[in-house]
Amino acid sequence: GEALKVGSVSFGVALLPLISGRVAIRSVTIARPELVYEIDKTGHSNWQAASAPAPQAAGTPPQSVEDLITSSEAPQAAVSQETLAALDRIGISKLTIADGTLTYRDRRSGREETLTAVNLTLTAPDLRRGAALDGSFDWDGTKETVALTLGARPDPGKLAALPVDLKLSGDLATIAAKG
């Protein structure tokens, strides 16, 4: 099946920052996205590439965001200055997900979980200084809320652990984590 379907996407980009090579996204709205993360009976995800990327030599720092994501090393791994500079040129004033659905399906166990009415707002005008995510979703008939704040990178020259403040709450409980 399909891994991702989207009803519509709209966005606005600030033109003046483009002159200096910075991408300042004013707003992005993704309406009615349907994301399915499925693990087949052999343990492979529908989000894995058809062929696995070539393994990196030991001690070689990731050179791109894709390398960082597929690396088996901890997130504290050294990232090239070019990769950090590229990430630092991106800013998203407001990303909105409206009326989304997220499904997790494991064909090995038969387990399936679905979040509906997913409504989230991400603000990250300057990725060096952190980001915030707020919103709500329905899970198993209960409305849940989420608030996540990522702080600034402690060392602007490295991609390392970030300060995090997370709160999930619903009718039955509230879970909070800070660190």
Per-residue pLDDT reduced to its tens digit, 20-79: 887 778 899 999 999 999 999 998 888 876 545 555 555 555 554 445 445 554 444 456
What average pLDDT does the segment 3-28 reach? 87
Predicted local distance difference test score (pLDDT) of residue 5: 93
User: Which residues partner with 38 through β-bridges?
Assistant: 105
Instruction: Output 155 or 16, whichever has higher pLDDT.
Output: 16
Collapsed DSSP state (helix, strand, coil) of residue 156: coil
Q: What is the mean pLDDT of residues 146-171?
A: 85
Parallel, antiparallel, or unpaired: how do β-strands 34-39 and 142-150 relate? unpaired
Concatenating the DSSP letter of every residue in 39-95 gives E-TTS-BTTS-SSPPPPPPTTPPP-SHHHHHH-SS-TTS---HHHHHHHHTEEEEEE
DSSP notation for 96-117: EEEEEEEEEEETTTTEEEEEEE
106 or 124: which leads in pLDDT: 106
In this prediction, residue 166 carries a pLDDT of: 93
The average pLDDT across 97-103 equals 96
pTM for this one? 0.72
> If you average pLDDT over every residue of the chain, what do you get?
82
Separation CA 162–CA 137 (nearest Å): 25
The pLDDT value given to residue 66: 47
* pLDDT interval class at 175 (50, 70, 90): very high
Q: Which residues pair with 53 in a beta bridge?
A: none
Confidence of residue 105 (pLDDT cuts 50, 70, 90): very high
User: Which of 10-19, 57-66, 111-120 is predicted least confidently?
Assistant: 57-66
Q: Are 51 and 36 in contact (CB under 8 A)?
A: no
Which carries the bigger pLDDT value, residue 66 or residue 15? 15
Selection from 161, 162, 10, 25 nearest residue 90 by Cα = 25
